[in-house]
Amino acid sequence: MEKSCIISKWATGFTLVEIMIVIAIISMIVAIAIPGFMRAREVSRATSCQENLIKIEGAVDSYALENDLTDGAIIAGGWVTLVAKTLYLKQTPKCKGGGDYIKVFTVGIAPSCTYTAPGWFNTRGNLYKHEITEHY
């Protein structure tokens, strides 16, 4: 008789308070984790974009060296010259954040990206900038 009482106590399921506590704990975990994932995504986009900018600058410098171009010269043909004709770049680079690359084809000027991180990320500044941070 005693055993059946214990079983029936546990067989009734969860109370509303128990379910609400579980939901509250899960939502706290999600609230802590989501900004971290978003931040990691922005950092990875920025890093990828910075790598693209370094590759673009290297391609422009190589082209300028090979064709005796000085600072301020414009590379005629743009991407077609750098990607298809000379193969300094294997493909036209794309910003993962959706930005466009500007000041790309002028020798001696560092290329940059038009992307800006969403407002809530800008509090930490430099982490999310799509630009070459060290220029040699």
Q: Which residues bind Zn ion (CB under 5 A)?
A: 49, 95, 97, 99, 113, 115, 130
Residue 56 or 113: the one with the smaller Cβ distance to Zn ion is 113
Gap between the Cα atoms of 12 and 14, Å rounded: 7
H or E element that contains 46: helix 16-66
| Beta carbon of residue 93, minimum distance to Zn ion (angstroms, whole number) | 9
How far apart are CB 21 and Zn ion at their closest, in Å?
43
- By C-beta, is 27 or 116 nearer to Zn ion? 116
Which run of H or E residues covers position 101? strand 101-102
69/105 with CB nearer Zn ion: 105
Query: Least distance from C-beta 81 to Zn ion, angstroms?
Result: 22
CB of 113 to Zn ion, least distance (A): 3
Residue 91: φ, ψ to 5°: -155, 165
> Looking at beta carbons only, is 97 or 111 nearer to Zn ion?
97
Q: Which is nearer to Zn ion, 77 or 98 (CB)?
A: 98
Per-residue buried b or exposed e for 17-41, using 16+ beta carbons within 10 Å of the residue's own CB = eeeeeeeeeeeeeeeeeeeeeebee
What tokens were used for 59? 């391609």
Residue 63 beta carbon to Zn ion: minimum distance, rounded to whole angstroms: 22
CA pair distance 116, 127, nearest whole angstrom: 11
